[in-house]
Amino acid sequence: MTALRNSLSDEELAAQADEGEPEKGRWSQDQQLLAACHDVLRRIEHVLICVNTEKKAAWPARPEPMRRPGAAPKKAKRPTLTESNAVRLFSLINGGAA
């Protein structure tokens, strides 16, 4: 596998990185452990940022866990438009920002 990977051009490697699906591969216990450590470090970083940010609205989104074999990526939720936001948007569209 290493020889095959080393024979790829930079463009082929970039294409595989963009289109890769790690959830369809097999991971060793070492790789699973490394992914778990990666997720924990990202959560710790997120908590550290949130603790040092005054406004809750400025908090970054929670980090997504690393994709693992057998688990499809989570689908993003579609944002909903509330009544108050709809009224505000209508006001802005009709010259309310001026």
Question: pLDDT digit string (tens) for 3-56?
Answer: 777 788 888 877 877 777 766 667 778 888 999 999 999 999 999 999 998 888
pTM of structure: 0.51
**pLDDT band at residue 97 using 50, 70 and 90 as cut-offs:** low
Rg value, the chain, Cα: 21
Q: What is the pLDDT of residue 40?
A: 96
Question: DSSP secondary-structure letter at 55?
Answer: -
Buried b (16+ CB within 10 A) or exposed e, 55-80: eeeeeeeeeebbbeeeeeeeeeeeee
Q: What is the pLDDT of residue 24?
A: 66
